[in-house]
Structure 1
Amino acid sequence: MVSPVVLHLKVPQDNEKSPMAMEGALSGIAELFRHRPTSLSLELVIRGGFIYFFVICEQQFRDLVKGQLFSQYPHLDIEEVEDYTTALSSPTTIAILKLERPDAYPLKTYKELETDFLASLAGMATSIEPNTVTSVQLVLQPVNKEQFSYKTSVFFQNYWRSLLRKNASIKDLLQTRETEKLDKTLFRSTLRIAAWGQEKSDLLVTSLASLFKSLDNPNLNSFKTRKKTQSETTGAAFRQRQPEKQTFLLTSDEVATIFHLPARDIHIAQAVGTKTKATPPPTNLPVPPHIIPFATTTFQSTHTPFGIKREDRRKHMYVIGKTGVGKSKLIELLTLADIKEGKGCVVMDPHGDLAEELLRYIPRERLYDVVYFNPADTEYPMSFNPLEGVTTFEFKQTVVAGFIAIFKKLFSFTWNPRLEHVLRYTTLALLEVSGATVLGITKMLTDAPYRQQVIASIQDPLVKKFWTTEFSSWNEQFAGEAITPLINKVGQFVANPIIRNIVGQSKSSIKLDEIINSEKILIANFSIGKLGEENSALLGAMFVTKLWQAAVARAAMPEADRKDTYLYIDEFQNFATSAFANILSEARKYRLNLTVAHQYMTQLPEEVRSTVFGNVGTIISFRVGGEDAAVLEKEFTPVLKAHDMMNLDMRHFYIKTTINGQTADPFSGRTIDFPMPDEDILTDVVRMSRQRWAKPRLEVEKDIAQQESIVAQDQIKETATFTEPLL
């Protein structure tokens, strides 16, 4: 061949196509090539105990060959690869096989064999040493029936008739085969067997040649070894896929008997295939230039870049998959697309790697739009007060519900109605006080003068009554049981100076409403490794609560003025509370478009788990475990089965998405290769965020101490004048 291309064929494990499918593909190829003299090579390669399937053809005919293979094997994976012989020396031994009798005599085909030829080959594959390579090569030249001369046709017919006269015992068989031989697609064929390896190569070639005895047709035809050689000339002919001068004719079904792809019912464990199947994308797939792609299709080796339209992103995206399969990179690709298009986005990362990687890709023109919230940056803490700016009754209920959900998750099985009752009224009381922070929760429960000062500021009569009547009536034992667990949990949180310097400042430097309404970029690094698991979860969940408050505040805006904000939460089980179910169902109207990712479903609170599938427009599944696959199968049926999702390769996924408001059938994809940043401005981003949104640690600690001093002085004044019975 002048410019060969090597196609590696991999069929899914659930392939149901028999050798008849390969026969159909070969017939189609021959028909296409009848006016184009060429050859192709079908090769079965055994290496490392596995069987590989290759088709080698001229570069110019690659798409034609692929098309015929796909027509018979729709879910076939065809990959263009380097020639496996390139890395090998010349074959140590090559055997060239030929037919025992003239071409007119037929061989057994797959229709008559009791055991699949591949099964015999697989049995031998297990016994070949890992560093030894063997190959069965079948070089084919399609016969142009229009050029198949009248003389040749007459010769075959007369030859068959002579056979009938000489051997009456096979008369009935030959009468059928006479017509079949001429009706079938014919190929001029060269059959070689090669082995690489200094030891036992001769024995290996002989053993492989013996497998072809299973195709012996008694009284008709069989294969035999024409010659066995170690010559360089024959080795070169093998590598170049040159036909021998002495070829023989094989029909398409005889070829397919030797070379076909394994079917599920045969179960050739040694055959290299795909564990999952690629599925076709919808015809209205969103493609560039209308969108920025994050993935490509994988069906039939056609890698079409695609993405999701902005209006469909408003229905949220749910991503699931085991660790290390590509979820974070998917989020990164989606975020970069938003950043490039000037959109506002918020990224919450519990590990830190995603956040730090994103900073490297910020384009310089958006440098001033970036807020990098990194609690572990202890020398320059930003301020985040979740109790600030909560003025209306609705907002107070949102924050209180969020706080209860947060602590309910942290307390888990030890949570009880009494704790919820105390936390609700503690939070409601602090929301009435200007400048109150999370530090006030423990003070409210342990510091009587401070509590007295807060009660004096409470306007809500029901909240005030709780503190002046109900709380003050509790005896010491009852009060201890009700508040001690809460004091311990919150105390542990604010005792960490990293956390205290962030939530202890009364004025937030991070204004989430301004960020989402002015389309800024907020990257929040809640690194568990630096903050601790509970602190990361608690701070992150408070962040979600405050962000939701900012989104709900958009209700006062005309819908046309609400700008899309894309919220990405990686490993979102860390921050997902029972209140998250409400966010999923309501966020769309406020143009807060969620993309959440995690590893397995049991990580989620039951309330969230039960609402996910009903409130997301796009589901993306990377490789998952059996339990999750069984659940996802219900969403992807009838296109996919559970085992498909359990065996996906890294970066490969199945997606069920909404296109123009309509749900499309699930299809397969692969995330695109990650681009290199045009310019790495990570240092500039960190520096600018510090300058604009943070203060030096010593200054922050001084401010917090000063606030405590002011509170203490106010307590003395209030204590002297307030007369209600208090603990």
Structure 2
Amino acid sequence: MLSVLASIHGAIPSSLSISLWLKSDKGEVTFLVDLPDECERSFLQELQDVYPGCTVEPESERDDHTTEQECWNTELRVSPDVLSLLTFDQFVDETDNRSLADPVSGLLSILKSGRAGRVVPAIRLTIQPATRRRVAAAERVLRRFHHRFVVDSLQSTYLRWATHHLALYRVLAAILFRFVARDALPLESSAKTDLKLFQCRLTVFVNVPIGQKQLAERRLIEMAGAFGRFTNATVKIHRFKPAQRERDKRAFLLSPREVATLWHPVTESGDAVSRVERPMFRELEPPVFLTSNKGTVLGRVKFRQQKNQFAIDEDDLRRHMLAIGKTGCGKSTFLLNVVSQQVESNRGIILIDPHGELVDDVLSTVPKNRTNDVIYFDASDDSVVVGFNPMVGPIGADHTLVADGVLTSFKNVFGFDEGSAPRLLHIFRNTLLTLIGTRHASLANVQRLLVDANFRKSAIANVTNKAVREFWLSEFGQWNERDRTQYIASLQNKLGAFTTNERLQRIFDGDRKGIQLREVMDQSKILLCNLSKGQVGHDASTLLGSLLLSSLQIAAMSRADVAEDERPDCTVLVDEFHSYLSDGNTTMADALAESRKYRTSYVLSTQMLEQLDSATLAGVLGNCGSTLCMTVGPRDAEVLAELLGNRLATDDLMNIPKYHGYIRQLVNGAPHTFSMTTLSPPRQNRQRADLIRKVSRQRFGVPDQKQPA
């Protein structure tokens, strides 16, 4: 604070003043500053440079007290003001004589009041640069004071009169010096020799309910008495008499060191001071080369007076992004803005939403020129069905990869792995490899292949994979009827929960036209998947999401037949992506590691990292180049504090306000961590959403025969 005051002294003329406040606001002590426009920017910038964690906000944003109150005040003055008060380097911690105590702690303690706001105390220290005339007068008083007087007691009398606020006493002091002073003495160390002096006024206030005069007087006396810790045997702080005329209340002189002792923000070392209002959100400085007009705008910088937008370019976004935060912290608003910008930029978008609300909001923001690009996949729509067959991959796709993708998705839903049910998965894998690549490639035909011998015989005749043919002709055929029935029944029981689901039957029907993920990516279409768990069911939603992600990875890798520069970018946003993963499911980690070169960017959102197994968590954190952290729990905060760096603590990540966050963003390939806020939600038009649903159903849906279209 001393450096702030020293620098501001020469930045403003002596006609302007700054008011430094300590004020109790609903039980918490707040630091306030009243600044003239001429020095506002320089003062606040200097203050935040020396206090990196200091948050500045306009005082008008605070709630005003609404109760009927009246204000009482009294002014204080330092006398004699040419000698120094006790300063911060003279305060020693009583519990540890080797360390310094914070001198302002006593003032903060006396200002504490109840949270109801019935009593509102405040202290105001008004400072302005002292005029040359006033500084010269002080130097003259000091020189005269350090003379021998005829009587020793007259020396203190002269000092008291020469620094008196009334002009009459100052005249008497000059006469006294003329007749009783002798030779000069050396100056004492307590004298103010600093030329950067301030003319100051010190006032204490208290707001109390009307009619509570005694309460007000008692609090004023207590606050005035708290300044006694800064005085010594020579320098005192006195109250002006209540009847003192305003023009007689002369300002007193203080050095920057004295002002800094009386008013300075509490730093982290001052945690012992209770009920001091501290910033909930620590602001971190952004890199100087952030861009706002290239790429996708992610939000606004939140650092001091900076509120400019910032963006991430396409190449950095291809290294993927993770957004994590508790429900209600603003993740959906962030994702909505990202999707809306991708839509307006004519890029390909795939959004997987397990709740449905985000998809509805996106539909309301699609512009007219992209109406025909939207594929609205609503798994709960019983009247018009948009089909999706995960067993039909892109042209030229490896059948083994398609089968592994479907198998992995069912393993996620079944809840077992190769160690717990190896034979069941073995049968299922060979069944999938038998059907994929044929006109019978559909999940509806899996059970038919297992129980219908004639159908199985015709399907095996078309199998070209020797290992698969060997399974059916040798291994499967050599099982006795009892064992075969037992094995098949176990798999049927697992698959039956989904193959008997009428909604999934209609979606997985191989004869229906529907979602072609390779076309979505190559033609920059907009695929919005509403997998609402509340309407579809938890298991069905999880299965659909897992199948979509597996098929998406296969579709992305199939773009290897196109030159990298000719592959259109496609952004995949997955809300609550942990829902589609299970222990040992490396689908997402593999997709993040391989998809960049296929021009597929992933933006993943989740509430808690604890919902991921260790392998998947390591893959996600290791492959997501950018990470947005909003409010998180204590365990996630430990992991993310280490990841984000920049001296962030776990408490910083657990107390983030709504729509705020810390982002570790790639900028030209290098990570930088800074504080930010989300953008306001884009304008929405619900009528446009209804129109887009209608157009999408007509173009990509098939009316169900059992339901009216």
Q: Fold conserved (TM > 0.5)?
A: yes
Name 2:327's counterpart in structure 1: 323
Q: Where do 1:599-614 residues align within 5 Å? A: 599-614=607-622
Q: Does 1:409 align with 2:412?
A: yes
The question of whether the paired residues in 2 share the 8 Å contact of 1:98 and 1:248 is answered with no
The question of whether the paired residues in 2 share the 8 Å contact of 1:97 and 1:223 is answered with no
Say if 1:614 and 1:100 are closer, same or farther in 2 by CA, change over 3 A.
closer
Name 1:253's counterpart in structure 2: 257
Say if 1:36 and 1:570 are closer, same or farther in 2 by CA, change over 3 A.
farther
The question of whether the paired residues in 1 share the 8 Å contact of 2:28 and 2:113 is answered with no
Say if 1:575 and 1:228 are closer, same or farther in 2 by CA, change over 3 A.
farther
The structure 1 residue matched to 2:140, chosen from 125, 130, 154, is 154
Name 1:265's counterpart in structure 2: 269
Structure 2 residue matching 1:41: 3-state secondary structure: strand
Q: State the TM-score, normalized to the length of structure 1.
A: 0.84
C-alpha displacement of 1:635:
2.4
Q: Where do 1:308-707 residues align within 5 Å? A: 308-389=312-393, 392=396, 395-413=398-416, 415-476=420-481, 478-479=483-484, 482-576=487-581, 577-661=585-669, 663-677=670-684, 681-698=688-705
C-alpha displacement of 1:378:
1.5
The structure 2 residue matched to 1:196, chosen from 199, 204, 208, is 208
CA distance in 2, matches of 1:226, 1:556: 88
Structure 2 residue matching 1:666: 3-state secondary structure: strand
The structure 2 residue matched to 1:58, chosen from 36, 43, 63, is 36
The question of whether the paired residues in 2 share the 8 Å contact of 1:103 and 1:250 is answered with yes
C-alpha displacement of 1:77:
1.4
The question of whether the paired residues in 1 share the 8 Å contact of 2:322 and 2:628 is answered with yes
Structure 2 residue matching 1:665: 3-state secondary structure: strand
Q: Does 1:141 align with 2:156?
A: no
Say if 1:405 and 1:185 are closer, same or farther in 2 by CA, change over 3 A.
farther
Say if 1:496 and 1:85 are closer, same or farther in 2 by CA, change over 3 A.
closer
C-alpha displacement of 1:160:
5.3
CA distance in 1, matches of 2:62, 2:611: 45
C-alpha displacement of 1:369:
1.0
The structure 1 residue matched to 2:190, chosen from 133, 157, 177, is 177
CA distance in 2, matches of 1:318, 1:123: 44
CA distance in 2, matches of 1:472, 1:491: 23
Say if 1:535 and 1:255 are closer, same or farther in 2 by CA, change over 3 A.
same
Structure 2 residue matching 1:156: 3-state secondary structure: helix
- Residue 658 of structure 1 aligns with an amino acid whose one-letter code is L
The structure 1 residue matched to 2:297, chosen from 293, 314, 318, is 293
The question of whether the paired residues in 1 share the 8 Å contact of 2:126 and 2:201 is answered with yes
CA distance in 1, matches of 2:260, 2:544: 64
CA distance in 2, matches of 1:623, 1:116: 32
CA distance in 1, matches of 2:443, 2:242: 85
Name 2:9's counterpart in structure 1: 30
Answer with 477-486 or 362-371: which moved more.
477-486
Structure 2 residue matching 1:78: 3-state secondary structure: coil
1:330-354 superposed Cα distances (whole Å, 9 cap, x missing partner): 1111111111111111111111111
Structure 1 residue matching 2:123: 3-state secondary structure: strand
CA distance in 2, matches of 1:172, 1:581: 81
C-alpha displacement of 1:513:
1.2
Say if 1:166 and 1:122 are closer, same or farther in 2 by CA, change over 3 A.
same
Say if 1:484 and 1:122 are closer, same or farther in 2 by CA, change over 3 A.
farther
- Residue 406 of structure 2 aligns with an amino acid whose one-letter code is F
Name 1:218's counterpart in structure 2: 232
Structure 2 residue matching 1:63: 3-state secondary structure: helix
C-alpha displacement of 1:90:
8.4
CA distance in 2, matches of 1:83, 1:637: 31
Answer with 587-596 or 51-60: which moved more.
51-60
Say if 1:510 and 1:244 are closer, same or farther in 2 by CA, change over 3 A.
farther
- Residue 218 of structure 1 aligns with an amino acid whose one-letter code is N
C-alpha displacement of 1:184:
5.1
Name 1:274's counterpart in structure 2: 279
C-alpha displacement of 1:399:
1.6
- Residue 399 of structure 2 aligns with an amino acid whose one-letter code is K
Say if 1:391 and 1:88 are closer, same or farther in 2 by CA, change over 3 A.
closer
Say if 1:442 and 1:123 are closer, same or farther in 2 by CA, change over 3 A.
farther
The question of whether the paired residues in 1 share the 8 Å contact of 2:198 and 2:255 is answered with yes
- Residue 189 of structure 1 aligns with an amino acid whose one-letter code is R
The question of whether the paired residues in 2 share the 8 Å contact of 1:77 and 1:301 is answered with no
1:262-315 superposed Cα distances (whole Å, 9 cap, x missing partner): 122221331112244211111211223x34522111122311210101121111
Structure 1 residue matching 2:591: 3-state secondary structure: helix
C-alpha displacement of 1:648:
2.0
Answer with 86-95 or 413-422: which moved more.
86-95
RMSD of aligned alpha carbons: 3.1
Structure 1 residue matching 2:269: 3-state secondary structure: coil
Unmatched tracts of structure 2, length 5 or more: 93-100, 160-183
C-alpha displacement of 1:376:
1.1
Q: Where do 1:5-44 residues align within 5 Å? A: 22-33=1-12, 35=13, 37-44=15-22
Name 2:172's counterpart in structure 1: none
The question of whether the paired residues in 1 share the 8 Å contact of 2:413 and 2:539 is answered with yes
C-alpha displacement of 1:137:
3.3
The question of whether the paired residues in 2 share the 8 Å contact of 1:93 and 1:202 is answered with no
Name 2:162's counterpart in structure 1: none
CA distance in 2, matches of 1:129, 1:509: 61
Name 1:205's counterpart in structure 2: 220
The question of whether the paired residues in 2 share the 8 Å contact of 1:280 and 1:667 is answered with yes
The question of whether the paired residues in 2 share the 8 Å contact of 1:75 and 1:299 is answered with no
CA distance in 1, matches of 2:61, 2:511: 67
Structure 2 residue matching 1:538: 3-state secondary structure: helix
The structure 2 residue matched to 1:81, chosen from 38, 59, 68, is 59
- Residue 26 of structure 2 aligns with an amino acid whose one-letter code is G
C-alpha displacement of 1:105:
3.6
Q: Does 1:70 align with 2:48?
A: yes
C-alpha displacement of 1:476:
4.9
Q: State the TM-score, normalized to the length of structure 2.
A: 0.86
Say if 1:557 and 1:203 are closer, same or farther in 2 by CA, change over 3 A.
same
CA distance in 1, matches of 2:481, 2:236: 99
